[in-house]
């Protein structure tokens, strides 16, 4: 046997994305992915309740996070007791645009736990005491985060990229002091008692009668509404270089990047490939050079973020303070290389194969496929986005990547923010 020769490889068969079954209540769609090997389910209820819908920045996220802290008939403890009793748990999520409340449950308790979820969404009263306890916890967490270089660098980087816009917002202690229960109640009424966006159900739910499940969902007060809001595209900001000193830092945190655009831009899927080459996987150029060759860091990566009105590209790492300057030099060397040289065919083939395998992993199982579906749903796109992306992964050329890099990742256009210890 010759161990130096790799076994032969096969391309994956055509990748197919499972379409959900679509039902509706209150004019809002319910998307159902009935699959999986385990008798578990996930129910995600999405509202037009992001932070853009209130003038104070934290009201939306508090309304979202505190939704299970009490109704007129059940205390916070009783609600927790019930969910815990069924072995279920809920997760809340809130960004600039949307807020969601997600339930994870054993299928055998699905109808009961969904009914409870809907009861709290409809009837939440946000008791003053719970609001205050939570605010104290959050203020403490914020103070602790402010001692972390990775938190600080994210905060300052976003603030530079999105000056004066919600996308650049990070909470301050004073913002917590400005919170009033009345604002939360009003927000809940406006955005959780109407403002329903959609519901996504996934998991092994073959044994559940859809009719019964629909009946439970119909108890939701919220109707589908398209709450109007003013589109507020962030203004372009010139690139800056900023260093924030943190004397006791053992490692310096670095963020380099720029504003771009979101998933709906035709270059976005192509940039996904370029980003992967640069810093999007373990074998990426940044990892190979800065970790695996130089040993400057435990990890380095780059990414693309798609927001409803904008998007951005970033490189992030934490490196030993003494090698900080060298690390930045190497990062820019890699970016320049992308701008000057064609990506070798062998490297591109590897990235193509990696991305195809990675895509298969990302749609494997009920929760994974529903997450993928949610991404395109909330971007206002369809599965065609992914089929187009897969075509691009298979066919993009080194020349296209070079042009793309020159167009979007020019070194002098990049903003650079660092937090850490300044060496003399």
Contacts (Cβ under 8 Å, ≥6 apart) of 282:
none
Contacts (Cβ under 8 Å, ≥6 apart) of 73:
123
Comparing CB distances to another protein, the nearer of 13 and 384 is 13
Q: Which residues on neighbouring strands pair with residue 25, listed in sequence order? A: 28
Near another protein by CB under 8 A: residue from 169, 170, 332, 354: 354
Comparing CB distances to another protein, the nearer of 198 and 317 is 317
* Position 103 contacts another protein (CB under 8 A): no
For residue 29, which phi and psi values (nearest 5 degrees)?
-75, 145
- The answer to whether the beta carbons of residues 64 and 121 sit under 8 Å apart is no
Which residue, among 265, 375, 271, 366, has the nearest Cα to 309 in the 3D structure? 265
Site string for another protein, 1-30 (x = CB under 8 A): x-xx-xx-xx-xx-----------------
Torsion region of 169: left, alpha or beta (phi above 0 gives left; psi -120 to 50 gives alpha) = beta
* Position 248 contacts another protein (CB under 8 A): yes
Near another protein by CB under 8 A: residue from 218, 357, 380, 397: 357
Site string for another protein, 159-198 (x = CB under 8 A): ----------------------------------------
Near another protein by CB under 8 A: residue from 219, 349, 397, 406: 349
Map residue 344 onto helix, strand or coil.
coil
Q: How far is the CB of 150 from another protein (least distance, A)?
A: 9
Subset of 268-297 contacting another protein (CB under 8 A): 281-283, 291-297
Near another protein by CB under 8 A: residue from 128, 219, 223, 298: 298
Subset of 311-330 contacting another protein (CB under 8 A): 318-320
Distance CA(102)–CA(46), nearest Å, equals 8
Site string for another protein, 122-161 (x = CB under 8 A): -----------x--xx--x--xx-xxxx------------
Near another protein by CB under 8 A: residue from 190, 305, 356, 381: 356
Contacts (Cβ under 8 Å, ≥6 apart) of 170:
154, 155, 158, 159
DSSP string covering 289-315, please?
A: IIIIIT--EEEEEEEEEE-SS-EEEEE
Question: How many chain residues are in contact with another protein, going by CB under 8 A?
Answer: 71
* Position 361 contacts another protein (CB under 8 A): yes
Subset of 69-88 contacting another protein (CB under 8 A): 76-77, 80-81, 83-88
Task: Report the run of H or E that residue 319 belongs to, with start and end.
Answer: strand 311-320
* Position 233 contacts another protein (CB under 8 A): no
Strands 241-245 and 415-420 come out as: parallel
Comparing CB distances to another protein, the nearer of 16 and 233 is 16
Q: Please list the helix, strand and coil fractions of the chain in percent, rounded to the nearest 5, in that order.
A: 45, 20, 35
Q: How far is the CB of 27 from another protein (least distance, A)?
A: 33
Subset of 33-52 contacting another protein (CB under 8 A): 35-40
């Amino acid at each position: 046997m010759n161990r130096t020769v790799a076994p032969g490889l096969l391309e994956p068969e055509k990748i197919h994305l499972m379409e959900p079954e679509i039902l509706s209540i209150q004019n809002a769609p319910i998307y159902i992915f009935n699959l999986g090997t385990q008798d578990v389910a996930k129910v995600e209820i999405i509202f037009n309740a992001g932070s853009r819908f209130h003038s104070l920045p934290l009201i939306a996220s508090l309304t979202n996070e505190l939704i299970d802290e009490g109704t007129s008939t059940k205390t916070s403890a009783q609600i927790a007791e019930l969910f815990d009793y069924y072995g279920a748990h809920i997760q809340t999520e809130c960004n600039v645009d949307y807020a969601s409340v997600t339930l994870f449950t054993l299928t055998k308790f699905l109808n009961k736990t969904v009914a409870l979820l809907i009861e709290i969404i409809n009837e939440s009263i946000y008791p003053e005491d719970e609001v205050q306890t939570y605010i104290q916890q959050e203020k403490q967490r914020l103070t602790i985060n402010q001692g972390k270089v990775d938190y600080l660098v994210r905060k300052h980087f976003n603030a530079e990229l999105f000056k004066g816009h919600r996308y650049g917002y990070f909470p301050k202690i004073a913002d917590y002091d400005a919170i009033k229960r009345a604002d939360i109640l009003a927000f809940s009424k406006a955005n959780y008692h109407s403002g329903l966006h959609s519901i996504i159900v996934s998991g092994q739910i073959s044994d559940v009668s859809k009719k019964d499940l629909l009946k439970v969902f119909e108890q939701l007060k919220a109707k589908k509404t398209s709450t109007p809001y003013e589109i507020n595209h962030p203004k372009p900001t010139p690139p800056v270089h900023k260093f924030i000193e943190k004397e006791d830092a053992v490692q310096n945190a670095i963020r380099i990047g720029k504003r771009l655009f979101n998933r709906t831009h035709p270059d976005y899927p192509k940039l996904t490939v370029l980003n992967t080459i640069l810093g999007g996987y373990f074998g990426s150029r940044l990892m190979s050079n800065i970790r695996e060759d130089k040993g400057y860091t435990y990890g380095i990566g780059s990414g693309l973020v798609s927001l409803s009105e904008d998007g951005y590209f970033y490189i992030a790492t934490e490196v030993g303070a003494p090698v900080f300057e060298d690390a930045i030099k190497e990062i820019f060397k890699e970016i320049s290389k992308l701008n000057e040289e064609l990506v070798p065919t062998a490297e591109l083939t590897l990235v193509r194969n990696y991305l195809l395998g990675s895509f298969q992993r990302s749609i494997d199982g009920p929760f994974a496929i529903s997450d993928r579906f949610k991404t395109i749903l909330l971007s206002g796109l369809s599965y065609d986005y992914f089929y187009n992306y897969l075509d691009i992964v298979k066919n993009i050329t080194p020349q296209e990547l070079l042009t793309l890099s020159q167009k979007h990742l020019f070194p002098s256009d990049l903003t650079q923010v660092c937090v850490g210890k300044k060496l003399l």
